[in-house]
Amino acid sequence: MVSWSWRRRSATKSFPVDEDEQYKFQHIEENISAPEFQSVLLLRAIRQPYEATASYAVPVPQLDSEMLVMVKAVGLNPIDWKAPDYNFGIPTLPYVAGREFVGTIIQVSKTHNSRLKEGDLVIVPSTDYRDLRKAAFQEYSIASTFNAIRVPRQISTASASILGVAFVSAALALGICMGVGFEKIEDGPDLLKVVRNINPESLPVDMRQECLEGIGNYEQAKADDFLVIWGGSSTCAHAMKQIARLAGLRIISVVDGAKHGLRLSTHTTARPDLLVDSHDPERAIDIIKTATNNRARFGFDTIGKETAGHLLRALAPPSSNITSLPKDQRNTDRKDSTLPTPPSTPLVVSLESPRAHLVGLTGLPKGDLPEGLALHSVPIKLFHEVPEVGEALSGWCERLLLKGLFVPPDVVGTVDGLTGINEGLDRMRRREISGGRLVAVLR
């Protein structure tokens, strides 16, 4: 399944923007005070359902940059069921989960210089999963001021609750791992410049090399470069395509054509330049290489190690040695040609030759790496551990939402309150949810 469309286009129609701050963002004037106790969902054991628990203490801000938010809606993510089922990403038990929500600020430090105030409705991508105070599966949650995004009036609460983590992940993958600068897009940040101009000791230790040495200046993605997204139907891919399009990249999306092809080929904001069916990975790799004349240098995988291995082969230079990859990621299904093999010119990769760059959202292929290709993981910690990064992304997201340049994923269903979350996660386990996200509505 293939469809081309090279024309440049904006993500969606821009909304008129009123300069009055009170008009632009959703805000309530009445004072709301938090109770001493609340209801939460607790994970008490691996591979068990979450348990509704009352009389759980409301978390308390500990820093001037922290605020208390009354949760109104929670976006349900795949990790919310995969983490307890497969026992990863759970630092302690009992555990409070939930990675993104929308809520109303009810307490913020008066001494902290912030664009936020009490009564603002905000999106909170809760990427700091080790701090249970910041989790979404509770009635009240803690958020850092530099990790909160005000909600414009044209965005519904449910839609806002499912966009934050996808936006942050996509922006960091593009801005840090691929070196895309956003300065010409609604005064967005140059994330590489941000992290390379601050004290390296301020960067998370395990992210330092990615930030400082992950990509050279001569390798950074620029307008008209190809970006291949394997797993292009996901919510994160939805965000990636919009931001990449604004930056002028040409987008190739590899998806299950039978399941997602028609929707994505006609989708206003998620339509790629080239749509490729993933049913036959070998055929998909051939299409990508042929269509781009072997010039695709940037890839983003949203599924896992196996598909990241396919994407690696699609990005690898023609003369790269890929025989050291795991057997299930090699091209072993084709019969040898009876025609003589023409002589080839060895690929020479110098220090100044731009490499291909593959970013894995959930996993990367094992084995020796083909020459001329670099692997990256999304440096998500930067959002909550480096205030300069968090504030830059949060403010930029607000501006994109205001002008309709970034559109939330589709809400494909809702569940009622915290007690409905287990039901929603079961539907996700059964693969009943696609093309968008479920939302738990609390208020």
Query: pLDDT digits over 2-53, tens only?
Result: 444 443 333 333 444 444 555 799 999 888 889 999 999 999 999 999 999 9
Mean per-residue pLDDT, 271-284: 96
Fold classified for 37-162+408-441: Quinone Oxidoreductase; Chain A, domain 1 (3.90.180)
Q: How much helix, strand and coil, in percent to the nearest 5, is found in the chain? A: 30, 20, 50
Structure-token match 């994160």, residue found? 236
pLDDT in tens, 405-425: 999 999 999 999 999 999 999
Measured between alpha carbons, how far is 300 from 177 in angstroms, rounded to an integer? 10
Largest CA distance in the chain: 80
DSSP state of 3: E
pLDDT in tens, 199-253: 999 999 999 999 999 999 999 999 999 999 999 899 999 999 999 999 999 999 9
Which percentage of the chain shows pLDDT scores above 90? 79
The phi and psi torsions of 101 (rounded to 5 degrees) equal -155, 170
Q: How far is CA 193 from the centre of its chain?
A: 20
CATH of domain 169-319+354-382: 3.40.50.720
Give the confidence band of 367 by pLDDT, cuts at 50, 70, 90.
Answer: confident
pLDDT in tens, 70-120: 999 999 999 999 999 999 999 999 999 999 999 999 999 877 777 899 999
Burial class (CB in 10 A: 0-12, 13-18, 19+), 19: exposed
Measured between alpha carbons, how far is 162 from 234 in angstroms, rounded to an integer? 12
> Is the pLDDT reported for residue 63 higher than 60?
yes
Q: Which of 394, 391, 399, 442 is CA-nearest to residue 418?
A: 442
Q: Which two tokens stand for residue 358?
A: 């593959």
The phi and psi torsions of 182 (rounded to 5 degrees) equal -110, 15
> Is the pLDDT reported for residue 329 higher than 80?
no
**What is the total residue count of the chain?**
443
- How distant, in Å, are the alpha carbons of 113, 136, 201, 328 from that of 109? 9, 21, 27, 54
Q: Which of 255, 278, 279 is CA-nearest to residue 267?
A: 255
Structural contact between residues 135 and 96, judged by C-beta atoms closer than 8 angstroms: yes
Residues of the chain with CATH 3.40.50.720: 169-319+354-382
Structure-token match 């497969």, residue found? 86
Residues of the chain with CATH 3.90.180.10: 37-162+408-441
3-state secondary structure 259-279: HHHHHHHCCCCCCCCEEEECC
Mean per-residue pLDDT, 381-399: 97
CB atoms within 10 A of CB 434: 13
Q: Which of 74-78, 157-161, 342-346 has the lowest mean pLDDT?
A: 342-346
> Is the pLDDT reported for residue 339 higher than 50?
no
